Amino acid sequence: MASPGRGNSNTENVTSVSWMPTGSHIAVGTALGPVEIWDVHQSKQIRKMKGHIQRVGALSWNSYVVSSGGRDRMIYHRDIRSQNDYTAKLSGHKQEVCGLKWNPEGNQLASGGNDNKLLIWDRANDVPVHKFPHHTAAVKAIAWSPHSHGLLASGGGSQDKHIRFWNTTTGKALECYDTESQVCNLAWSRHANEIVSTHGYSQNQIILWKYPTMEQLAILKGHTLRVLYLSVSPDGENIVTGAGDETLRFWNVFNNGKKEKKRMTAFDIRSQIR
């Protein structure tokens, strides 16, 4: 696929990318605000949707709807089947929207901001149903549990360092754990009740936790700067992480529900890409 952000003076810098769960399309957030939809098979842009006036750093799909969060503090729902650039506009954050995730059922959206707030939105409402002010730093890390309805995890930045759990059905705050390091990303295992977190200042590590005891099953080290990016493989067993040290690293973290005494943490240098 031709790169949407390089080699053409008429294109804009890419600030976020998200695959459509089914199909061959990706949403691309740009530095100047428009959200582009690309057809991978045709290697071309098929939509360019306006709305944001500043960079788009967060994207999340819900079937044919992609939601985007921007530095302009706004969230837009965009149905790619619609002629309109967006079908709903949400205003609730006072600073940049840096985290955005739809729940597995597709009826609630969680958004995190640089204003340290975590908001929960119902699909059919433009006013948040829950506002959680508990974090004391930006909320970029957000992950919905695939095992328990309404269970949400969120992580705070370098002045917070906590992973918090929420029941978004009742609006109740659940457990809170101090990780002693900036929380950059969170992802649940599909196969077991486990969650992985990536960290920045000051440990730059990856931790696999057992929920709800929050026992540390593995601590993965190798990155030398903040682990800013995390993606889970389609089979749900491996993850890839990207960091400020300009490396990608691949890890076999989730074990497909198989029992074992201790998760291996050895890192294979062959899995580093620079």
pLDDT in tens, 236-246: 999 999 999 99
Question: Which amino acid would we find at residue 50?
Answer: K
pLDDT at 271 over 80: no
pLDDT in tens, 108-152: 999 999 999 999 999 989 999 999 999 999 999 999 999 999 999
User: 10 Å Cβ neighbour count for 138?
Assistant: 24
The residue ranges of every structural domain in the chain are 13-91
User: Average model confidence (pLDDT) for the chain?
Assistant: 91
- SS3 of 151, please? strand
CATH number of 13-91: 2.40.10.480
| Distance between CA atoms of residues 71 and 152, nearest Å | 23
User: 10 Å Cβ neighbour count for 21?
Assistant: 10
pLDDT in tens, 5-22: 444 444 589 999 999 998
pTM for the model stands at 0.90
